[in-house]
A and B are shown apart, each in its own frame.
Chain A
Amino acid sequence: MGVADDRFLQMFFEEARELLLSLEEGLMELERRQGDRAHLDKTFRAAHSIKGAAAMVGLGALAEFTHGIEAVLDRIRSGTLAVDSDVISTLLDARDHLSVAVEAEAARSPIPSPVELNRRLTALLRDPAAAPPPPPPAAPAATPKKIELDLPAAEMPAAKPPRKKAERKPRASSRSKKQTPELPLPDFGGTRSPGVDYYRVTLKPGADILKRGVNLLGVLDELRDLGPTRIATEPGLVPTLEEMDPERCYLAWTIEVESNEPRERLDDVFLFIADDSTITIERHSTSEPAVETEVVIEPAPEPAPAKLAPTAAKTPPAAAPFPVEEKPASKPPEIAPPATAPADSGKQPPPRPPVKQAAASPPPPPKVPARIRVDAGQLDDLVGLAGELAVISDNLQGLREVDANQPWVVTLEALDRVSRLIRDTTLELRMVPVEELFSRFPRVVRDLADRFGKEIELRVIGQETRLDRTIVERLSDPMIHLIRNAVDHALETPEERMAAGKPRAGRITLWAGHEGDRVALRIQDDGRGLDRDRIVKRGIARGLVPVGTSVDDPRVDTLIFEPGFSTRDEVSELSGRGVGLDVVRDAVRGLRGSLAVESQPGKGTSFIFRLPLTLALIDGLLVETGGNRYVVPLAQVEECVALNGTNPALSRGRPCVAIRGELVPLVQLRELFHAEGARPSRQELLLTRHAGQRVGVAVDRLLGRVQAVIQALGEGLGNLNRFSGATILGDGSVSLILDLAALVAESRAADNHAH
């Protein structure tokens, strides 16, 4: 692609990113899955595809670097290079560089080729003396040999007088192809343009060339494009009808082309047929008598000619006019196209295995379903519309009760069913297997284990579990955080583990599965477990738990999620837990999920994420305040209690209510939204948790539970944190979705400001 077209480049970058992931996965597994040919092929293909696509879009440097990776993988494939962890590390490093290089190209600031990495890759390509000879199966006989001859003018084949036809009568089927073809070499006479060089070409195609689908007329046409052409052939080479096999090519041509094009240009013309044809090319200069001759010989022995069917009754398809065709650069219509020679089913070559068998000879790899890339924004729009459709259909269902609408009942029911199906299917489109998330972790674990001198075995279970695309994307960092903690701190060194009677290699298990209507992800290690003594002491010191709290108190575990509970310096060297876990927990809450921990001393720790199946749907409470209706995500509400009209107490200047003996700060939604009118005597209090503390949000009324399709807010409202979106209610009205966490944060900030 001469001019790098931006569209192809963008497409390439996208594709390369995917292939790089697949290459990384492949490399990670390479050591473990030795001998798994399909896996190796897949890995090789990832590198190969990046190279090919990079070359096509004009990113030559990328292609060249990728070629190194591909070549190493190819050596592994051919068995000349054994896979060990050094090889894998080099390949992984190369992959990483490639990834950086791709992004650099995408940012239009290419980076130089890494000398050291290239050296390492090249080292893997060099043959150690002990290695078995590389077996690339390219048979030497297949490589066309090019011999350049400087023939004196006297020996020019062209100078030989044309022989008489009778001397070379048509024994075409018995002639050895190794011989220079005995072609008629007609003297084309004085028709050449003065001052223009000409080439004299003899072309004797292999007998089976038509069976490869070669269009010989295309070759002749190509020569005609180079300049005025004279073409001669020898129909006497074609055997009689009884002996002739119409699928074989018996003909040979002598061609003169007037052209000043370089010889490479002519070689190029014969590219597809050089392998099984005998071709000579001589350049004749009209100004000087010197002749360069190049002979391209196909030395492969000609297969024994197929037994000719005596009943072959068709006219020879390639009966070309003889001796001379004097029409420069125009196509002779009289020549029947050899490539379309009629196939006579009676004379097919010996029976071959059926196609199906050929296709099935490699073990059938698992079918990958066809996929289409879709713009994420469009998908979200579609989800919104599908939700709306379901709501509209819901509203119409009321019509079924009206007697006059009886004829429409069936249609209404069908509408209801189909619109729900559409909604559910579109929601399903947003789901991706957790595998997309988990597949990054083997690499992370490997790198970390290397760095910290640990031996770790990673197990992954349930990676086919599907989860909302957004969740999968946003969960990556929190999970890596926890995995890093597990490798760095929770798992012991091999020596410590042996001393404790555990297997040498620590184990980390990633597990995904359904728990009710939620998806649970578990990161489990078999390390030393939480150091509860230490955690309790710190908790007491920071006033987070009362003095005298028992080590077995269930609250102890949750302490590690408190903001700033521990600092790296103090705790990581002891328990290894608590470094920024509040950040992890907040990220999970942002996805309407929760994070829990389970731990047994000496046996290990599990972190459990519980997440909604989808972010597009929300289970909510429909509430009313000041005459307006709002949806509150159910996941944010721990409890609802009645709030009777007593005035709230004040604690530290903020309104509070007593809930079962505990003072809970109170946020009045009415006040926050400046609702008019008098507060009803009885309100409802939604209890939520903010920064580890219970907070109550007072609303006027609870209307019920709803399942809502979340619609993004337009730009006008998008900046208001207190609303996380909007939804359409069953009656067609629009309701805003409240984000209790943001509301509480907002109101507390206002409070602090006021006091």
Chain B
Amino acid sequence: MGKTILHADDSPSVRRWVAEQLADDELKVVSVADGDLALQAMQQNSFDLLLTDLEMPNLDGLALADAVRRMPEYRFLPILILSSRKPNEIAAERRQPVTGWIVKPIEPDQLRRWIRRSLPS
């Protein structure tokens, strides 16, 4: 079926790790280094899921999630946070646009599972 996810993280090693864990025949991973670039990518291409870090230069993960959620085509997009921070460290209203929260570190199997489950069928 071929889904595409966008991954935003300012750490090259995390980007590479995630891409290697997720990408396969059915899943394409596009990686970007900050929130601004992620937003640009979301505007220019169509994605099935957004996986983002919280702390990033230019535009942080929550601001990115908020902006993406306001784009009409992404109103129902699964937006997952991949961060070493836990959701309860963030105020609930700021988490509003977020679909799910994955706390780093995470086992590759678990990451794949959460992504697979969050992707619309």
Contacts and interface: CB of A to CB of B under 8 A. Distances in A.
B57 A275 contact: no
Interface stretch (A90-98, A207-215, A488-496): A207-215
Given A48-B55, A49-B10, A52-B11, A337 B120 contact: yes
A746 to B, nearest CB: 46
B22 to A, nearest CB: 13
A124 interface: no
Contacts of B107: 1-2
A48 B63 contact: no
Contact of A213 (B16, B77, B113): B77
B85 to A, nearest CB: 8
Contacts of B98: 212
Nearest to A59: B105
A210 B76 CA distance: 7
Contacts of A45: 10, 55-57
A58 B93 CA distance: 32
A215 B119 contact: yes
Contacts of B12: 11, 15
Q: Which of B12, B76, B93, B119 neighbours the largest number of chain A CB atoms within 10 Å of its CB?
A: B76
Interface string B77-121: 111000110011111111111111100110110000110111111
A56 B17 CA distance: 8
Interface in A34-61: 42, 44-45, 48-49, 51-53, 55-58, 60
Interface string A177-195: 0000000000000000000
A341 interface: yes
A271 B101 contact: yes
Interface stretch (A252-260, A361-369, A431-439, A597-605): A361-369
Contact of B92 (A136, A142, A331, A368): A142
Contact of A355 (B33, B53, B67, B119): B67
Given A56-B104, A58-B105, A271-B100, A365 B58 contact: yes
Nearest to B107: A2
Interface in A122-177: 136-139, 141-143
Contact of A63 (B69, B70, B79, B105): B105
A55 B104 contact: yes
B58 A15 contact: no
Contact of A57 (B17, B36, B108): B17
Interface string A320-345: 00000000000100000101110101
A331 B121 CA distance: 11
Interface in B29-59: 33, 35-36, 39, 53, 55-59
B101 A138 contact: no
Contact of B100 (A49, A272, A348): A272
B84 A55 contact: yes
Contacts of A590: none
B13 A339 contact: no
Given A212-B97, A352-B70, A138 B76 contact: no
Contact of A1 (B79, B83, B108): B108
Given A48-B84, A219-B117, A222-B117, A355 B17 contact: no
Contacts, number: 157
Given A56-B105, A219-B117, A368-B57, A339 B75 contact: no
A511 interface: no
B93 A214 contact: no
A160 to B, nearest CB: 31
Contact of B108 (A2, A12, A210, A355): A2
Nearest to B83: A52
B79 A213 contact: yes
Contacts of A348: 72
A657 B102 CA distance: 80
A704 to B, nearest CB: 48
B92 A275 contact: yes
Interface string A1-15: 110000110011001
A271 B100 CA distance: 8
Contacts of B121: 215, 217-218, 331, 337
Contacts of A218: 116-119, 121
A139 B92 contact: yes
A142 B76 contact: no
Nearest to B56: A45
B108 to A, nearest CB: 7
A241 B67 CA distance: 31
B119 A56 contact: no
A312 to B, nearest CB: 16
B14 A343 contact: no
A359 B63 contact: yes
Contacts of A143: 88
Nearest to A11: B13
A60 B72 CA distance: 40
A2 B105 CA distance: 10
A49 B55 contact: yes
A56 B76 contact: no
Nearest to B121: A337
A1 B76 CA distance: 30
A221 B63 contact: no
Contact of A51 (B16, B35, B84, B95): B84
Given A63-B84, A355-B70, 9 more contacts: A1-B17, A15-B12, A48-B84, A49-B10, A212-B79, A218-B118, A275-B92, A337-B120, A348-B72
Interface of A: 1-2, 7-8, 11-12, 15, 42, 44-45, 48-49, 51-53, 55-58, 60, 63, 136-139, 141-143, 210-215, 217-219, 221-222, 271-272, 275, 300, 331, 337, 339-341, 343, 345, 348, 352, 354-355, 358-359, 361-362, 364-365, 367-368, 370
Please provide the 7 A-B residue pairs with the shortest distance between their CB atoms, ordered closest to farther.
A142-B92, A272-B100, A218-B117, A55-B105, A213-B99, A137-B91, A11-B13
